[in-house]
Chain A
Amino acid sequence: DIQMTQSPSSLSASVGDRVTITCQASQAIRNYLSWWQHKPGKTPKVVIYDASHLEPGVPSRFSGSGSGTDFTLTISSLQPEDVATYYCQRYDNLPPWTFGQGTKVEIK
């Protein structure tokens, strides 16, 4: 099975900072990767799909890039409402559609 390695596992940044989370697949997955935002007590929601497509309604400070094995989620200017755990997930070819381990984002 393809493994998804996400880093860092947690980060603390100031409001307005640029934040970058990376996700590496153990095999190439083309651009079949999504990024999920999971706030405590809420349902996960997608922020980026197909590696770089911004989900409608998601603020433009979120962006995704990458293809093949290496992917990045960037928050250009961190806001208090962005506090959450972020997960990457592959969905190329056949399942399992594995999630990364998650990155907990906090405000410093």
Chain B
Amino acid sequence: EEQLVESGGGLVQPGGSLRLSCRASGFIFSNFWMNWVRQAPGKGLEWVANIKKDGREKYYADSVKGRFTISRDNAEKSLYLQMSSLRHDDTAIYYCSIGHYGRWGQGTLVTVS
């Protein structure tokens, strides 16, 4: 069964940096686009970024462009989100997800305060 486990969340000061990881298992990781999606407290779902199967194409929401970097290591079956210049409004649960409509992980909480 497909499984995604996020890690790396925590409390960080405004302007700080954080690196999220998502470890995949139970499916052929290198065959799928992967996403980061977030949900701020009391808000809806916001697509953050995604990356092509081979890592050569990456896309970002305007709200994070220039501050966040998505990457992947297919050998390690892992997805990453490097976040820098963090702001209060980046506070959210961050989820990794598979492709267009695949499984999501349980999420990791990032608090910028």
Chain A contact residues, CB within 8 Å of chain B: 1, 32, 34, 36, 38, 43-46, 49, 55, 85, 87, 89, 91, 94-102
Please give 5 more A-B residue pairs, beta carbons under 8 A apart, in addition to A32-B100, A95-B59: A43-B104, A44-B45, A46-B101, A96-B61, A102-B44
B79 to chain A, nearest CB (A): 15
Contact with B47, one of A45, A49, A95, A101 (Cβ below 8 angstroms): A95
Contact with B44, one of A1, A32, A97, A101 (Cβ below 8 angstroms): A101
A72 to B35, CA, bound (A): 25
A98 to B45, CA, bound (A): 9
Contact with B35, one of A43, A45, A49, A97 (Cβ below 8 angstroms): A97
By size class, the interface of chain B is 20 to 34
Which residues of chain B are near A55, meaning CB under 8 Å? Answer: 101
Contact with A43, one of B100, B101, B106 (Cβ below 8 angstroms): B106
* B111 within 8 A of partner (CB): no
A44 to B50, CA, bound (A): 17
Given contacts A43-B106, A96-B59, contact A34 B101 (CB under 8 A): yes
Contact with B45, one of A32, A87, A95 (Cβ below 8 angstroms): A87
* B55 within 8 A of partner (CB): no
Which residues of chain B are near A36, meaning CB under 8 Å? Answer: 45
Listed by A's residue number, 11 A-B pairs whose Cβ atoms lie within 8 Å are A34-B100, A36-B45, A43-B95, A44-B104, A45-B103, A55-B101, A89-B45, A89-B47, A91-B100, A91-B101, A101-B44
Closest B residue to A6 by CB, please name it: B44
Closest B residue to A97 by CB, please name it: B47
Closest A residue to B65 by CB, please name it: A96
A97 to B50, CA, bound (A): 9
Given contacts A43-B107, A87-B44, contact A95 B50 (CB under 8 A): yes
A44 to B44, CA, bound (A): 11
